[in-house]
Structure 1
Amino acid sequence: MTSTAAPAHLPTTAADPFAHEALEDPLPLHRELREAGPVVHLERYDVFALARYAEVRAALVDWQDFSSGAGVGLSNFRYEKPWRPPSLLLEADPPRHDAPRRVLSKVLGPRALHRLRERWAADAEALVDEVLDRGEFDAVPHLTEAFPLRVFPDAVGIPQEGRENLLPYGNHAFNAFGPDNDLTRAGAPRVAELSAWVAAQCARDVLAPEGFGADIWAQADRGEITPEQAPLVVRSLLTAGVDTTVHGLSAVLYALATHPAEWERLRAQPALARVAFDEAVRWESPVQTFFRTATRDVAVGGTVIPDGRKILMFLAAANRDPRRWADPDRFDLTRDPSGHVGFGFGIHQCVGQHVARLEAGSLLTALTRRVARIELAGPTTRHHNNTLRAWGSIPVRLVPA
C-alpha cells in the first residue's frame, strides 16, 4: 500500500498513542489532539486522527464513508489478511452486518436480561459477602474480574473448564487492533491455542442447552443467520463481552473510591447505579480508540481524507471534550452522561451494552447495601493495552455498613 502525504495545512504530531507513556496517562495527548484541530495527522502510523466529540460521533454514525469492514484496527483488510476471521458485527458493514446484528440484538434483548436480573443480583450479593470477609484486597482479581467471569460465561452457556482463557484472549484481541508492538508480540505465542479454545466453545454441542449461545444457534435453525455464521456470532460475545465489562467495573469502582461524596450520593440513591456506570464509561472510556477506513475521499473539518486511508477515532478524548461536556474531567453523578461514545454510536454501537449495565447495576447495588465506604488501600497500577484503558491492580478497603 502506498500512502499519500498529509495535506500541508493539516496539524501533524509525532506522538505515539500506543507508547507506554501514553497508555499510562493518555489525557495530555488527548488534550493536545483536541486543541490541534478537528483532524490531526499521526505521522508515525500515517493515519488521520479525530479527537473532538462532534467529529468522532459523526464518523461513528456514518458507516457509509467510515467503514468498519476493512478492520477497526490499524491493519487495513483491503491490503492485509486479518489474523482471524473478521467479526461479523465489529468488522463488517451492511448488508453483511445486518442479520448477525439483528440476531444478537434479539438474543440480548429485554426478555433475556429480565430472566438474568434476579440471578445476577444474588451472585453479586454473594460475591460482596466474600470480599467483605477479606477486609483489604485487590479489587481487580477479586471483584471486577471475578463478577463478569462468574456470571457472563454462564449466561452464554460455555463450560466451566478453561474460562481462565477468556481474559488473555480478549486482551490479545484488543491489543491486535493496535500496531505490532511489544504488547501485541507478548500475546502472540498463545494466539493459536487461545483462538482454538474460543472457537471450540462456540460449537452447538459444547454450549449449554439454555443461554445466549443456544439462542444464537436457534436463530440459525430459523434461517435468521446461516449455520456458518452462528459460531462467529457466539465468538463476538466471548471476544468483546468480558474484558470491556471488567475494565468498566474497575473504572466505576476506582471512581467511587476516589470520589467519596459521589459514593454517598449513590448509597442514598441506588437507582443512580446506571448513571454511575455510564459516567465512569464516559470518564475513563475502557475502549479508548477504534479505527475506520475511508470508502471515498471524505471531507472532515476542512481536510479531505483520501479513499482507503485509516482514521483513528479517539473515543476517550471525545468523552472529555469541553466542547460537549461541562467540567469534563470531573466524575459527577449529577451529570447526564448519555450521548457519550464509550460504547460507540450508530449501527456499530456495542450490542452488549445493556448486559454490561445489568452486570454493573447488580454489583453496585449489592455494594451500596453492604458497604459504608470504599477506600484505596495502596498504590494502584495500570494494565497497558493498545485499545483498552485498564487497571492491573486497585487495592481497596471496604468498610461494612
Structure 2
Amino acid sequence: MVEAKTDSKVPVVDKDPFDLGILADPFDFHEELREAGPVVWLEQYRLWGLGRYENVHATLNDWETFCSSAGVGISNFRKEKPWREPSILLEKDPPEHTRARSIMTKVLSPVAVRKLRSDFETAAEKIVDEVIQRGEFDAATDLAEAFPTKVFPDAVGLTAHEREYLLRYGNIAFNAFGPRNSLFEASMAEAPEVSEWIIDKCRREALSEHGFGAQIFAHADQGEITEHEAGMLVRSLLTAGLDTTVNGIGCALRSLAANPEQWQILRNNPSLVRNVFDETLRYDSPVQTFFRTTTREVEVEGVKLGEGEKVLMFLSAANRDPRRWENPHDFDIQRKATGHVAFGSGIHGCVGQMVARLEAEVLLSALLKRVKTLELTSEPTVKLNNTTRGWAHIPVSVTAA
C-alpha cells in the first residue's frame, strides 16, 4: 500500500479512499493510513491526506492556512466551476463566513433549541409507539429517517410534504464532495430535478411564518443579509442539518443493536443517553471526510505542502486514533467521547449540532422507556456515499419494556 515518495520520502498511499469497498468498511484502511505517517500523499488523486487526530484537529482550527472557500470537496473552486452555488456557511471564510455564521448562531441559539424539546418529544413518542408494536422493523427507515425528516423540516418551517427530496438532495451534495466516480455520476443524474425543488422550497413564500427559515429572512429584512443569502442559509440548514442527523441516529441505533450489552448498560443508567450520541459520532462518524485547500506554503510534521494544494482530512480515522482514544475500536457509551471531530472544529464546526443532539436524545429516550431489548435480526445494509457514512437498512427486533 505504501512506498516512499521519491522526492520527499513522504508515505505514498496507492489505495483509492473512495473505492466502494473502502467506503463500505473503511476502518482497516484508516488504520493503515494513520500508521503510514502523519501526512501521506494520496497518489490516486495527487493530494495530501491526514488521518491522525492531532493533525486533523489542528487543520480544522487553522482556517487562515487551510481554507474552505476553495471548496470542502475534491474540486478546487479556484480552478473549477462548482456544480451549485457554494454554501455561504460551509464554503466561505471570514469575513463572509463570519456574517452568515453570526446570523445562524442567533437563529439556532440555546433558547431557540430548548423550545423545540416538547414538540420533538411528542413526535418521538408517537413514532416509537408505532414501530415497537410490530416487534420487528427497519431502524434505518422507520426511525433514523422518519423522525428527523418529520421534526427538523417542521422546525425550519418547510410546508412541503415531499420530504424525500431532502434526503435525495443531501445525498447529491455529499457525493459531490468526492471524485467523479459512480456515486457522483448517479447523484448528478438526479441533480437538476432535486435542485429545482430545493431552490423553490427555500424561498420565503414556501416557508411558514414561525420557523427557523422565517427568522433567517427576518435578518434579511433588517439588512444584515440579502434575500438571496437568506435562501442560501435555509438551503444550508436543510442539507447539513438533516442528512448528517439521519445518519448519526442510524449509526447510533445500529451500534446499540449490534452491542446488546451497551443497550443494557443504557437501560441501567438512562443518564448516559447523551453520551450515546457522542460515542456514536466518534465510533462511526456520519461525516467521514472533508477537504481544505492551502492558502500558502506550510510545513506539517516536517512535510512541506505547497500553496493551493488540496488536503483530505479523514475525520473518521482521527476519531479512532489510538493516540487520542483508549481502545478506539470499542463502542463504549460510558466513554467520555468529547473532543471528537465528527462535527468538525473551529469556525466551521457544525452550527446546528445542538439540534442534532436534541433529536438523538429525545428519540433514544423514547425508545429507552419502551424497549427492553434491541437486537439485529440480520446484517445491516450500508448506505454508500463519498462523504457520509450511514445505513440504508437496519433490521431489528425489540421486546417491550
TM class by smaller structure = over 0.9
Query: Which residue is equivalent to 1:46?
Result: 46
The amino acid that maps onto 2:305 is I
- 2:126 — aligned with what? 126
Q: TM-score, normalised by structure 1?
A: 0.97
- SS of alignment partner, residue 350 of structure 2: coil
CA RMSD of aligned residues (A): 1.1
Confirm or deny: 8 A CA contact 1:6 1:41 kept in the other structure: no
Distance 1:261 1:76, change over 3 A: same
Task: List structure 1 segments (4+ residues) > 3 angstroms apart after TM superposition.
Answer: none
Q: For residues 187 and 53 of structure 1, what CA distance do their matches in structure 2 show? A: 31
Which residue type is aligned with residue 196 of structure 1? E
Matches within 5 A, 1:54-65: 54-65=54-65
Q: Tell me which residue corresponds to 1:343.
A: 343
Shift in Å, 1:223 = 2.4
Please report how far the alpha carbon of residue 179 of structure 1 lies from its aligned counterpart in structure 2 after TM superposition: 0.2
Please give the alpha-carbon distance, in whole angstroms, between the structure 2 residues aligned to 1:103 and 1:267: 39
Equivalent residue, structure 2, for 1:283: 283
Give the residue type in structure 2 aligned to 1:147: F
Deviation of residue 340 (structure 1)? Answer: 0.1
| Residues 255-270 of structure 1: pairs in structure 2 closer than 5 A | 255-270=255-270
Q: Which residue of 1 aligns with 2:254?
A: 254
Within 2, Cα distance between the matches of 1:321 and 1:256?
22
What is the aligned residue count? 397
Q: Distance in 2 between matches of 1:240 and 1:249?
A: 14
The corresponding residue for 1:24 is 24
CA drift at 1:160? 3.0
Residue deviations 1:312-368 (CA, integer Å, cap 9, x gap): 000000000000000000111221110000000000001111100000001010011
1:160 aligns with 2:180: no
- Residues 1:205 and 2:205 are matched in the alignment: yes
Q: 1:248 to 1:265 in 2, by over 3 A?
A: same
- Report if aligned partners of 1:47, 1:310 keep a CA contact under 8 Å in 2: yes
- Matched position secondary structure for 1:321: coil
Deviation at 1:270, TM superposition (A): 2.1
Task: Check the 8 A contact 2:160/2:201 in 1, yes or no.
Answer: no
* Worse-superposed segment, 70-79 or 217-226: 217-226
Q: Is residue 167–residue 243 contact of structure 1 (8 Å, CA) maintained in 2?
A: yes
SS in 2 for 1:307: coil
Q: Which residue of 1 aligns with 2:184?
A: 184
Q: After alignment, is 107-116 or 365-374 more displaced?
A: 107-116
**Structure 1 residue 7 displacement after superposition:** 4.2
Cross-structure match for 2:149:
149
Q: Which amino acid aligns with 1:383?
A: K
Q: Counterpart in 1 of 2:300?
A: 300
SS at match of 2:8: coil
Aligned to 1:215: 215
Counterpart-to-counterpart distance in 1, 2:329 and 2:224: 44
**Number of the residue aligned with 1:95:** 95
Q: Confirm or deny: 8 A CA contact 2:220 2:226 kept in the other structure.
A: yes
CA offsets, 1:355-395, max 9 Å, x none? 00000001010011000010101121111100011111110
Which residue is equivalent to 1:85?
Answer: 85
Distance in 2 between residues matched to 1:184 and 1:89, nearest whole Å = 22
Q: Is the 8 A contact 1:51 1:314 kept in 2?
A: yes
Q: Aligned partners of 2:8, 2:347: CA distance in 1, in Å?
A: 34
**CA shift in 2, pair 1:93/1:134, >3 Å:** same
* Partner deviation per Cα, 1:222-249 (whole Å, 9 max, x = no partner): 2222222100010001111111011100
Residue 373 of structure 1 corresponds to which residue in structure 2? 373
Written as runs of structure 1 = structure 2, the 5 A alignment for 1:317-396 is 317-396=317-396
Mark the CA change 1:143 to 1:6 in structure 2 (over 3 Å): closer, same or farther: farther
Query: Percent identity between the aligned chains?
Result: 54
Asked if 1 retains the 8 angstrom alpha-carbon contact of 2:51 and 2:315, the reply is yes
Q: Look up the equivalent residue of 1:345 and give its one-letter code.
A: S
The separation in 1 between residues aligned to 2:189 and 2:175, in whole angstroms, is 14
TM-score normalised over the length of structure 2: 0.97
> What is residue 193 of structure 1 aligned with on the other side?
193
In structure 2, C-alpha distance between the alignment counterparts of 1:383 and 1:75, rounded to whole Å: 23
Which stretch of the first structure deviates more once superposed, 107-116 or 49-58?
Answer: 107-116
The 1-side partners of 2:141 and 2:233 are apart by 28
In structure 1, C-alpha distance between the alignment counterparts of 2:266 and 2:106, rounded to whole Å:
31
Q: Which runs of 5+ in 2 are unaligned?
A: none
Structure 1, residues 107-147: CA drift from partner, whole Å, max 9, x if none? Answer: 11111111110110111000000001121111111111000
Once residues 394 and 378 of structure 1 are traced to their aligned partners in structure 2, the CA distance between those partners, rounded to angstroms, is 8
Q: Distance in 1 between matches of 2:27 and 2:311?
A: 20
1:226 and 2:229 equivalent? Answer: no
CA contact (8 A) 2:272 2:334 kept: no
Amino acid at match of 1:87: S
1:293–1:310 Cα contact (<8 Å) kept: yes
160 and 398 in structure 1: CA distance in 2 versus 1, 3 angstrom threshold: farther
**SS of equivalent to 2:292:** strand
| Cα deviations by residue, 1:244-293 (Å, 9 ceiling, x for unpaired) | 01110011111111222221221222222111001000000110000000
Helix, strand or coil for the counterpart of 1:392? strand
Cα distance, 1:162 vs. partner?
Answer: 2.1
Distance 1:220 1:269 in 2: 46
> C-alpha separation between the residues in 1 aligned to 2:190 and 2:251?
28
1:370 maps to a residue whose letter is R
Q: What CA distance in whole angstroms lies between the structure 2 residues aligned with 1:233 and 1:359?
A: 21
